[in-house]
Amino acid sequence: MTSVPMPIPSRTQYVLEGIKHRILTGQLTPGQALVETELAAQFGVSKTPVREALKTLAGTGLVVMSQYKGVTVRMVDADMAREVYDVRLLLEPEALRRAVRRGASLEAARDALARSDRAADTAERSLANREFHRALYLSCGNPLLGRMLDEVRDQAALVSAVAWAADPSWEREAAEHREILRLALDADADGAAAALHAHIASFVHRAFPEVREEEGHQ
């Protein structure tokens, strides 16, 4: 029999979402220590839900647990960026191509793009950006493909948060998002997929030039 995952207790979920939000919006920075007692006090809970939340975040790749250093926010470097974005480049354009060919509704992507344009701060814009990309692949018709992309979604957002902190490039990416959505709404599956591939590749190469250099020597 296939085991059914147990639901996460509400307090653990509350702490999990709170810590994740702080990481993905840059309030908690890569390499920063995450101390259970401090987080418990901040969220008004015992250490148990904090400990469970950190274990879950370690499983998604947002934090690192070390016997010697304790728990820290995952560091972002060219190796991590290459791994995460390689998966996205392989899977995300194909998922969008399938969604367009299926005639899937992209209203959620349109809404996310509008929220990004109206965003009052980096946190809102970052969350809207994540929702835009997810809306493009979620209706691909293959739930497993969607789940695989969901698994790297948080790590991709962490890479983006670090890159944006060093070199904000919202306007350029928003223009690329609008072009991707235009092609998708025009039912140009191959064109939308190609534009999405170029968008993902240009971001990681711009944010982490060493990735391009290393690829050039392969």
122-159 confidence digits (pLDDT tens):
777 878 888 999 999 999 999 999 999 998 888 888 88
Taking residues 80-99, report their average pLDDT. Answer: 94
Average pLDDT, the chain: 87
Look at 149 and 2; give whichever has higher pLDDT.
149
- Judge whether residue 47 has pLDDT over 80: yes
Phi, psi torsion values for 216, nearest 5 degrees: -70, -20
pTM: 0.80
For residue 128, what are the contacts with CB-CB under 8 A and spacing of at least 6? 112, 113, 115, 116, 119
The answer to whether residue 218 scores a pLDDT higher than 80 is: no
29-38 average pLDDT score: 94
Q: Is 43 or 158 the better-scoring residue by pLDDT? A: 43
Average pLDDT over residues 34-45: 96
Residue 162 CA to its chain's centroid (Å): 12
7: pLDDT confidence band, cut at 50, 70 and 90? low
Residues 171-209 have pLDDT tens digits of 788 899 999 999 999 999 999 999 999 999 988 888 777
Specify whether the CB–CB gap between 84 and 152 falls below 8 A: yes
Cβ(38)–Cβ(15) under 8 Å? no
pLDDT of residue 168: 65
* Residue with the two structure tokens 């959505």: 181
Residue entry with tokens 């979604």: 153
User: Does the pLDDT of residue 109 top 80, yes or no?
Assistant: yes
Residue 51 scores a pLDDT above 80: yes
Which whole number is the average pLDDT over 40-59?
95
Does the structure show a pLDDT above 60 at 61? yes
The class of domain 10-73 in CATH terms is: mainly alpha
* Maximum Cα–Cα distance across the chain: 54
Q: Could you tell me which CATH number the domain at 78-216 has?
A: 1.20.120.530
Once rounded to an integer, what is the mean pLDDT over residues 72-96?
Answer: 92
Q: From residue 164, give the alpha-carbon distance in Å to each of 26, 51, 84, 88, 123.
A: 10, 29, 16, 18, 11
Give span(s): CATH 1.10.10.10, the chain: 10-73
Comparing 142 with 166, the larger pLDDT belongs to 142
Start-end of CATH 1.20.120.530 domains in the chain:
78-216
